[in-house]
Structures are given as structure tokens and as C-alpha cells.
Structure 1
Amino acid sequence: MPLTSVKKNGKRRAGAPDTPAIQSLDRGLQILEAVGKSPEPVSLGQLAAMLGIDRSSAFRLAKTLKRRGFLTTPSAGRDYVLGSSVWRLSRQYDWSKMLARVAHEPLKTLAAQTHETAHLAVREGRKALFIDHVTTSHVISISGQTGELVPLYCTSHGKALLIDFEEQDLVDLLGPKPLKVYTKNTIQSIRSLAAECTSLREKGFATDESEYLEGVRCLAAPIRDRDGQVIASIGISAPAARFPREREREFAGLVVAVAAEIGELVGSLED
């Protein structure tokens, strides 16, 4: 199997990493690319030749990738193929794209109904990831971009995604350390966040009272699959002056209704 090799003369090629940690990451990514492109399992010797390193160094890299599930050796063999972690990542990417397609029209409807920017988000580790958004014609609008990551604990989307979490679940996800403070309204402890999640479950939606960005109010609701599991969130963001508390009930009704609509659309795809 032809694999691209790296020069062994000790000179760093143009654009190559210049620190050991980054070099190891670069080599690990090269391994994944090579194994992914190969129609056959790839041997340790082939990996070492491709990277221009000795077999023991190649083995340590492959062992780390195998431990994390990115490589595996089928049937107790010694050669490598891509592992389950790669497939999980690819499914998550495909799932997010599918969800964005299904939810785009309801998202546009929500933006038109509220005249405010509407976002669709999924959980990505300890963050909420915006996978789609629709802006409005306001001169001043809140336009978080698709692909942007925001904290879970101090944004309406994040709290909607965490709405079913109990205190221990939150500790397991976010860790026991104090939470980073962004504004004077930011939640600062897991205990406070757990108490808010309990309250949010009763309301069915989450708010952000200028907890992440000063002068910005947001409202989001969880999107659930047919089993009741939270799979995403949808919501709106606006300058606080344009989103007084008196409008919370009105906006919440619209957001919750659109979240339910998207949940039904996703459920229909599972039939």
C-alpha cells in the first residue's frame, strides 16, 4: 500500500509543527488519514515508514489512538483500522447536518414571529454548538454565528440542553471547580445551576438574563425526540431593551411550540 513518507534528515519541512506536543498531534492525524484512506489494515511498519520515525514511536502513537477508540486491530490482529470513535464523530456530524435541514424552516418561522435572531444548537461536550441561525432586519441584532460554541451553564441554549440534568450529572460534566464568570449575573456554582435546572423543568424553557453577554436576553427550549430525550435546543436572542420581561410569556409560547414541531419532524424521520 503506498503511503506518503516524511523526510528523515531531521530538518523540519515547511509548515510542520515546531513543538513536541503539536508534532505528536500532527503525526496522530496523519495516522488517522492514512488508515482511513487505506483499503486494507495498515501495519505498524507502514505507519513508521510514513511518518519517518522508528517503530517504537509509531507504536506509542497508535497505542494512544487505540486507547481512545480512534484505531482498532480487528480479530486480534496487529494491523490497524479506524475505530468506533471515528464513526461516532462522523455520525454526530451527519446528525447535526440532518437536524439543521429539518429545523431550518421552523427556525425561519420563529425568527419571523418574534422579529429576533433565532438559533438552533446541540451539545458539544461542555459547550453548546450553534448549528444554524436566522437573523432579522433589525439594525441592532444578536447574531451568534453557526459553528460558534458557547458555555452551557450561562446561556439559554446551554441550560435548555441541560434541563434534565441532576446535580451529580452536572458535576460529572462540568467538574467541581467554580464556574467562569462572564457578567455579574453569571451562575457561579453547580448547586445553583442544579436548582435552576429543577425550576426550568417545571417551566419547559430556559432564559439567559445577561448572564453571558451584558445587555442581552435570550430564551430557549429543549427539542426532544420521541423518547423524551433532549437532542437539541432552539431559541431567540435580543438586546434586553427589546426583550422586556413582560414579553417572556409570549416569546416562550412561540419557542416551545416550534421546539415541539421540530421534535415531531425528527420523530417522523425515525419511522
Structure 2
Amino acid sequence: MTRPASPTVTITAGAVVGDGAPASQTLDRGLRALELVAAAAEPMMTADVARTLGLHRSITYRMLRTLENRRLVDRDASGAWLPGAGLAVLATNVVPEVRSAAQPVLEALANDTAMTAFLVIRDHDEAVTVSVVEPRSAIAHVTYRPGKRHPVQRGAPGLALLAGATTGGDDGQPERPEVTQCRERGWAYSESEVLPGMKSVASPVLDDDGRCRAAVAVVFVGDHGLAALGARVVAAAAEVTHRARLMSRSLPTGPA
């Protein structure tokens, strides 16, 4: 199994009310700690979390213990912090029909390509991984975790989300040529934009109205035929779109 090197993680200020400070500074700090641990490529020690957030170590430890009590973070044998199982529970109702539709598709994609496959959604200016499937029989593959976040303007998943959502610049920013290329051919490619040395190919998942709901992606190392891989990821995204449409049409629309 290939474990990627830890990327530089940037934590931005928490949500604010109007133009003022966060409504709850304690909650804001706790959420920032949770975001940091969830986005890290490797488990983080308390001192590393405290240093990144600019907080005292004892304050950071108490916040992390509180998150641990809620099963939102966990600790490995060395005492380092990593995402907890409670995050999966919180994510259950995030685009549920798309996640359900994507699961078997991601499994087939991961095993066909011997790469880690994942589903990404957009959260404002970030791309967030909500589902991950690792290949069963690959000799080596990249480890990736749900909850990982990165700027939507970087990485193949983010580029695919932008390509599916817009026909021009996003939020007033000039559009990257890679976004336009993804819109034309159906898939995006990036290298070392999110994790050093890692490559990714992604394609947008659309709904009946043509809106981008998510993106299907694979992450890998080494050399692969990008055209064939891109076509395989595009086919997977199209299958997720089809399955999600069938699932949404089968849902009850009102009382009997």
C-alpha cells in the first residue's frame, strides 16, 4: 500500500455571522481542528494540530478529546489523531441517492483499474471526498479517506466539479484551461496538485437538469494510458448519473 506524503494543509477562518467574529469561538476552533484532522494525509499528533491552528496544546487536546467522545476523531497506537467513524454517520444524508448510486460503480471502477476510486462533492470553494473504495487485488494503491478537502480550483476532482457546474469563469475568477478541456472531453487530469507525486483523473456527475451533483475520480501513481483511463472514468460517472436518476424516480412523491 502506498501512503502519500503529508500535504501542506491550510485552515481558513470558520464561518462568521455577517462580517463579525464566529458566533462561538470554541465551536469554531473545534470544527477547524476536525477539518484539519480529516484533511490530513496521515494521522496528526496533538502538537502538530495545535501548531497549525495557533492554539495552546492543552486547549487543542481538550477539543480533540471532546471530538473523540463523539466518535468524530480517533487515535492510532501512537496516539496520533485520525478521522473517526462518526464522520461517516454525519455524511449519510449528503447527496444520498448519488452516494448510493455511486457505491457499486466505484467498486467496479476501483477493481477494474486497480486504483482507489472516490466520489467528491462541492462545498462552496472546496471539493470534499464523501465515498472511497480501494481496489481488492492491487499490489499497491494510494490510500485516501472520506472527509478529505482541497480547494475546488485544484486537482482533477475540483476541475471536474467546475467543468460540470459552469460554462465560464467560476465566482468571477478566470477559468483554468483544464476546466474548459474537461468540459470538452468529459474528464480532467491533474498531477501533484493535491498530494505530492499523486495523479488523478475525474469526471462530473450530472442530474436531469444538467447540474453537477458530484464527480467520480481515481487517484494513482505511475504511468497509465490517460485516454483509456479518462474514458473509463467518464463511463463510470455516466453510470452514476443513470443510476441516480433511476433511484430518484423510484422514490415516493407523496402520501398514498
**TM-score, normalised via structure 2 length:** 0.58
Letter in 1 for 2:171: L
Partner residue of 1:222 out of 204, 208, 233:
204
Distance in 2 between the 1:151 and 1:169 partners? 13
Instruction: Look up the SS of the partner of 1:120 in the other structure.
Output: strand
Change (3 A) 1:250 1:268: same
Shift of 1:98: 3.5
Letter in 1 for 2:142: I
Shift of 1:249: 1.1
Cα RMSD after superposing both structures = 2.6
Instruction: Look up the SS of the partner of 1:227 in the other structure.
Output: coil
| Residues 1:133 and 2:154 are matched in the alignment | no
Partner residue of 1:254 out of 232, 235, 246:
232
Shift of 1:250: 1.1
Shift of 1:195: 2.8
Distance in 2 between the 1:225 and 1:98 partners? 11
Counterparts of 1:1-271 in structure 2, within 5 Å, are 24-25=24-25, 94-136=93-135, 137-163=137-163, 164-171=165-172, 190-191=173-174, 193-239=175-221, 241=222, 243-244=223-224, 247-271=225-249
Indicate the structure whose relative CO is greater, using CA pairs within 8 Å and at least 6 residues apart. 2
Letter in 1 for 2:205: I
Identity of aligned residues (%): 27
Distance in 2 between the 1:141 and 1:224 partners? 28
Change (3 A) 1:221 1:26: same
Q: Deviation string for 1:242-265 (max 9, x for gaps)?
A: x33xx1111111111111111011
Which structure dedicates a bigger proportion of its chain to helix? 1
Number of residue pairs matched by the alignment: 166
Instruction: Look up the SS of the partner of 2:127 in the other structure.
Output: strand
Change (3 A) 1:23 1:166: closer
Change (3 A) 1:134 1:22: same
**TM-score, normalised via structure 1 length:** 0.55
The answer for unaligned runs of 5 or more in structure 2 is: 1-20, 29-90, 250-256
Distance in 1 between the 2:128 and 2:193 partners? 17
